[in-house]
Amino acid sequence: MKHLEISGQAEPVASAPPLLSINELSVRFRTRSGIVNALDRVTFEVRPGEIVGVVGESGSGKSVTAFAVMGILDAAASITGGSIHFEGRDVLGMNRRERDMWRGSEASIIFQNPRVALNPIRKVGQQIADVLARHSPASPSAIRQSVLDALRQVRLPDPEKRQSAYPTELSGGQCQRVGIAMALACSPRLLIADEPTTGLDVTTQAVIMELIRDLARSRQLGTVFITHDLALAAQYCDRVVVMHAGHVVETAAVSELFSAARHPYTAKLLRSVPSLVDRLEELQAIEGSLPDLRRVDLPFCRFAERCERRISLCDSAPLSLAPIGPNHCVACRNPL
């Protein structure tokens, strides 16, 4: 395994109660071609001040989980089970008004494709002001100041000029900074970053990731960093949650995961990423493809059909995450 720059915190803040607690969350989508079982009993936690990476292939349900937390799932989606708790409060049980007051001010999300995530015919400063006015009403001049402060915090040069710009006038990286400024304007305690650097060029990627991490540390934000890029996860996260086909298959501290992964899927994933593998000859693709989540006969372990370590026990009962070491859980009947 390559020597990775792993900069997670050495000791997770284990004693603090969880900021975000997702328990047995299941989500289903109604589509023209059938019902898609997008999430099946997804469980993980985020503690205050920690950066949790959620990694997995496209279609593994990472964004669905994030959208479920923020309440922005598609109309065709329904939450069929489980719970989401934020600082002990039941998020799914909130009524419309509570939810609207909560999101954007106590928990925020930033998206991939930052430019299209912004209103194209509204000045970016005005959009940030909209969020501020909604959650902490103040005089227009005070809000204007807060907008400038927010833009400075994300290190956007020349904020006075930039705030009257439209998203089309800004680069991708600048749009993402605006997105981050908007998300952090009301000082939330949870930040979800859904593939925030996908679509940005490599240099900008690094800069944005540094910014997110610095802000997260300085504000003690609980952060969920969703990505399909394992190398990025290794570099910036404290803990990693590995998802596959709507299941959480493994969670561990980042150093542990990358040196001693216990789930066969995680191991295969690590071996398939060039930046994590020492020699190209060692690169291995994962055979097969994600199972069709519309199937009614999905096996209990959704990786089983591609797994070399499959045993009869795998098909016996539904899987759950079980601790396999300190702060290391895995959902497997036959772990490595």
Partner 1 sequence: MKRVLWRLLGAIPTLFGVILATFLLTRVLPGDPAVFFAGNPSMDAHAIEQVRQSLGLDKSLLQQFVIYLHALAHGDLGQSISTGLPVRQELLNRLPASAELTLCAFLLAIVTAVPLGVIAALRPGSLIDQLCRLISTLGVSLPTFVTGLMLIYVFYYLLGAAPEPIGRLDPFMTTPPKVTGFLLIDTLLNGDYDAFVASAKQLILPALTMALFALAPLARMTRASMLNVLSSDFIRTARANGLSWRTTVITYAFRNAMLPVVTTLGMTFSYMLGANVLVEQVFAWPGIGAFALNSLISLDYAPLQGFMLIMAAIFLMVNLVTDLVYAIIDPRAEFEK
Binding positions for partner 1, rule: CB under 8 A: 70-72, 99-105, 108-109, 111, 113, 116-122, 130-131, 134-135, 166, 168-169, 179, 182-183
Cβ proximity to partner 1, 29 vs 111, nearer residue:
111
What CA dihedral angle connects 102, 197, 43 and 2, to 10 degrees? -150
SS3 assignment, position 58: coil
Residue indicated by tokens 């106590």:
106
Residue type, 205: Q
Q: Tell me how far, at minimum, the Cβ of 168 lies from partner 1, in Å.
A: 5
Measured CA to CA, the distance from residue 9 to residue 250 in angstroms comes to 19
Q: Tell me how far, at minimum, the Cβ of 336 lies from partner 1, in Å.
A: 38
Cβ proximity to partner 1, 37 vs 127, nearer residue:
127
Cβ proximity to partner 1, 128 vs 245, nearer residue:
128
Stretch (H or E) spanning 39: strand 34-46
Cβ proximity to partner 1, 109 vs 234, nearer residue:
109
Q: Tell me how far, at minimum, the Cβ of 183 lies from partner 1, in Å.
A: 8
Measured CA to CA, the distance from residue 171 to residue 56 in angstroms comes to 28
Q: In Å, how far are 56, 61, 331 from 187, measured between CA atoms?
A: 29, 27, 35
Q: Tell me how far, at minimum, the Cβ of 131 lies from partner 1, in Å.
A: 5
SS3 assignment, position 7: coil
Cβ proximity to partner 1, 130 vs 229, nearer residue:
130
What is the crossing angle of helices 172-184 and 124-135, to 10°? 10
Q: Tell me how far, at minimum, the Cβ of 45 lies from partner 1, in Å.
A: 21
SS3 assignment, position 194: strand
Cβ proximity to partner 1, 51 vs 118, nearer residue:
118
Q: Tell me how far, at minimum, the Cβ of 107 lies from partner 1, in Å.
A: 9
Strands (DSSP E) contained in 218-270 are: 222-227, 239-244, 247-253
